[in-house]
């Protein structure tokens, strides 16, 4: 998201499926469980022991008044991008695994949000296009769905046999948020920003309804590849992400560096462009501004009286000399994290070892004092991430995605070099220190922290000499970095999460979007 741009890449590969791919039925029908590849009986089903809940102290990110409550509003949990949930995820007590196969091929459901009743709202990638879906949180049965337009990158991939196009596409509804009235807000591939509600009919059936539709095509170039426009001559600039600020404006960004706002009352659209810069990640919002990272710099924006974005400050970072395996482009792979006493954190793209970089985000901070620390992480020549950080208090957790490209990367028992590190900003702000390092191999997930039980959740894959591709939900102690337990979710490429996040639901369930649909893990008994 996305962050990671994590989300769109998570959904992207599902769109390479053959034209015969079928989406799951709506109206409460339940599809089959995701099939396991041979070898699932040859690997450990469960390791470790149940953990004891130990809540982590600290102040939660401020609640954005125009978002659903923290923990259930979007990919990164809240508008600060913390990657935390206030809910107690599974502790590892006889954890039970269920799954839902969304399509015959593909069907990955990545970002998960939850309405006030706990129903799950997600976007799933299929060959026909993205599907906005309302799911039963226990059975994962589809209650309602809304078809979004097919993305131009999908048409390009099919007509030009270049599937790398969709791996670098974070547009079309991949990033979305749930607002304070449980409405989905997203940007589709037609350069429209939609606001959709879900409602139940007298017969008990559910449906999505478009409440608002804002057309950005007047300010965003949109000569994009489609089935009726296979060879466009103009510019196509997809909208990648949307998020509200504290005043209720809807901010949006595009791949080619446009930053804009929508006044939802008047429909007025304002925008600026960052020349020569690309935005593939989502962005974060605090009361003091909007934080956006391009492939060149970290920005803090505010809107002027007319809604036009204005740069409060800009800070370049080491973008390296090329794109690493495990990265979408030559730039930071993280959505900015806003945390602690006025800090913002990203990772850079330094050639040898990626750095976690922390800045002071106040508008009045002198340029010479903006940098708090720059901490190299993971091994030389094998260090990158394309997923958001986790931040809580003054702590930062980062995982290593080096070597993961798509679900073909880790077949036949292969894995990545891996690694997870926790870094803390010193209480006096004089720098940062490494607290612990772990060799957990989490190839491509957006990990999460349950602040209610003190566990970090990763989606792990160890190398296997027998060639079995076994995927595990792994719980790690936030304080020590020790693995508490891991539970097998399934085997084979269908269980590869392919950049999708882990999401902790209000009922304590951990949800993971995987290539063929969605997996749920919850404590038994």
SS (H, E, C) 343-407: EEEEECCCCCCCEEEEEECCCCCCHHHCEEEEEECCECCECCCCCCCEEECCEEEEECCCCCCCC
Contact (Cβ atoms closer than 8 angstroms) between residue 431 and residue 343: no
Model pTM? 0.93
Q: Check residue 326 and give its pLDDT.
A: 87
Q: Is 426 helix (H, G, I), strand (E, B) or coil?
A: coil
The pair of structure tokens assigned to 149 is 């337009």
Rounded to whole angstroms, the Cα distance separating 145 from 22 reads 14
Q: Check residue 164 and give its pLDDT.
A: 61
Helix residue ranges per DSSP H, 369-491: none
Q: What is the pLDDT along the chain (525 residues), one digit of tens a residue?
A: 444 344 444 444 444 433 333 334 444 555 589 999 999 999 999 999 999 999 999 999 999 999 999 999 999 999 999 999 999 999 999 999 999 999 887 788 888 999 999 999 999 987 777 899 999 999 999 999 999 987 776 777 777 776 666 656 666 667 899 999 999 999 998 999 999 999 999 999 999 999 999 999 999 999 888 888 888 899 999 999 999 999 999 999 999 999 999 999 999 999 999 999 999 899 999 999 999 999 999 999 999 999 999 999 999 999 999 999 888 889 999 999 999 999 999 999 999 999 999 999 999 999 889 999 999 999 999 999 999 999 999 999 999 999 998 888 999 999 999 999 999 999 999 999 999 999 999 999 999 999 999 999 999 999 999 999 999 999 999 999 999 999 999 999 999 999 999 999 999 999 999 999 999 999 997
- Residues paired with residue 244 on neighbouring β-strands, in sequence order: 250
Contact (Cβ atoms closer than 8 angstroms) between residue 495 and residue 515: yes
The pair of structure tokens assigned to 489 is 């979710």
β-strand pairing of 432-438 with 448-450:
unpaired
Q: Check residue 20 and give its pLDDT.
A: 32
Closest to 392 measured CA to CA, from 311, 337, 322: 337
Q: Check residue 19 and give its pLDDT.
A: 34
Q: Check residue 120 and give its pLDDT.
A: 97
Residue 77 dihedral angles phi and psi, to the nearest 5°: 90, -35
**Beta-sheet strand order (sheet of 395-399):** 390-392, 395-399, 420-425, 432-438
Torsion of CA 284, 460, 72, 423, to 10 degrees: -40
List, in order of start, the domains of the chain with CATH numbers: 6-522 (2.130.10.10)
Q: How far is CA 340 from the centre of its chain?
A: 21
Cβ neighbors of 307 (< 8 A, separation 6 or more) are 249, 261, 263, 268, 270
Contact (Cβ atoms closer than 8 angstroms) between residue 315 and residue 294: no
Rounded to whole angstroms, the Cα distance separating 134 from 284 reads 25
Contact (Cβ atoms closer than 8 angstroms) between residue 488 and residue 496: no
């Amino acid at each position: 998201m996305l962050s990671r741009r994590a989300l769109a890449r998570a959904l992207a590969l599902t769109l390479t499926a053959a034209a015969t791919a079928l989406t799951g039925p709506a109206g409460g029908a339940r599809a089959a469980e995701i099939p396991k590849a041979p070898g699932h009986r040859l690997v450990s089903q469960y390791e470790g022991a149940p953990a004891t809940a130990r809540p982590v102290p600290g102040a939660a990110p401020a609640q954005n008044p125009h978002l659903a409550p923290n923990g259930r509003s979007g990919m990164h949990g809240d508008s600060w991008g913390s990657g935390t949930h206030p809910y107690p995820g599974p502790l590892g007590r006889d954890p039970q695994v269920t799954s839902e196969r969304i399509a015959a091929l593909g069907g990955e459901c990545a970002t998960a949000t939850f309405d006030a009743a706990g129903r799950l709202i997600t976007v799933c990638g299929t060959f026909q296009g993205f599907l906005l879906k309302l799911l039963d949180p226990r059975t994962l049965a589809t209650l309602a769905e809304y078809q979004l337009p097919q993305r131009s990158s999908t048409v390009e991939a099919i007509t030009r046999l270049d599937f790398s196009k969709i791996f670098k596409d974070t547009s079309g509804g991949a990033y979305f948020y749930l607002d304070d009235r449980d409405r989905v807000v997203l940007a589709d591939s037609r350069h429209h920003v939609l606001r959709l509600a879900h409602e139940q009919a007298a017969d008990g059936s559910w449906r999505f309804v478009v409440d608002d539709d804002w057309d950005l095509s007047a300010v965003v170039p949109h000569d994009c590849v489609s089935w009726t426009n296979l060879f466009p001559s103009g510019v196509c600039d997809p909208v990648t992400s949307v998020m509200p600020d504290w005043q209720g404006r809807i901010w949006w960004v595009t791949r080619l560096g446009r930053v804009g706002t929508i006044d939802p009352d008047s429909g007025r659209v304002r925008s600026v462009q960052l020349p020569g810069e690309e935005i593939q990640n989502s962005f974060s919002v605090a009361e003091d501004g909007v934080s956006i990272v391009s492939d060149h710099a970290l920005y803090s924006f505010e809107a002027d009286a007319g809604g036009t974005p204005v740069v409060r400050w800009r800070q370049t970072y080491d973008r390296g000399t090329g794109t690493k395996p495990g990265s979408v482009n030559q730039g930071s792979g993280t959505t900015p994290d806003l945390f602690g006493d006025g800090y913002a954190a990203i990772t850079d793209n330094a050639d040898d070892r990626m750095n976690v970089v922390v800045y002071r985000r106040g508008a009045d901070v002198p340029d010479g004092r903006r940098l708090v620390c720059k901490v190299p992480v993971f091994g030389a020549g094998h260090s990158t991430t394309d997923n958001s950080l986790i931040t809580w208090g003054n702590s930062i957790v980062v995982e290593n995605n080096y070597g993961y490209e798509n679900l073909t990367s880790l077949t036949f028992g292969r894995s990545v070099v891996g690694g997870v590190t926790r870094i803390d900003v010193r209480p006096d702000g004089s720098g940062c220190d490494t607290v612990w390092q772990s060799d957990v191999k989490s190839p491509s997930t957006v990990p999460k922290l349950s602040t209610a039980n003190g566990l970090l959740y990763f989606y792990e894959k160890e190398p296997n000499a027998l060639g079995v591709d076994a995927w595990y939900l792994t719980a790690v102690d936030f304080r020590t970095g020790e693995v508490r337990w891991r539970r097998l979710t399934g085997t084979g490429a269908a269980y590869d999460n392919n950049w999708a996040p882990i999401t902790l639901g209000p009922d304590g369930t951990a949800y993971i979007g995987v290539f063929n649909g969605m997996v749920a893990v919850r404590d038994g008994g």
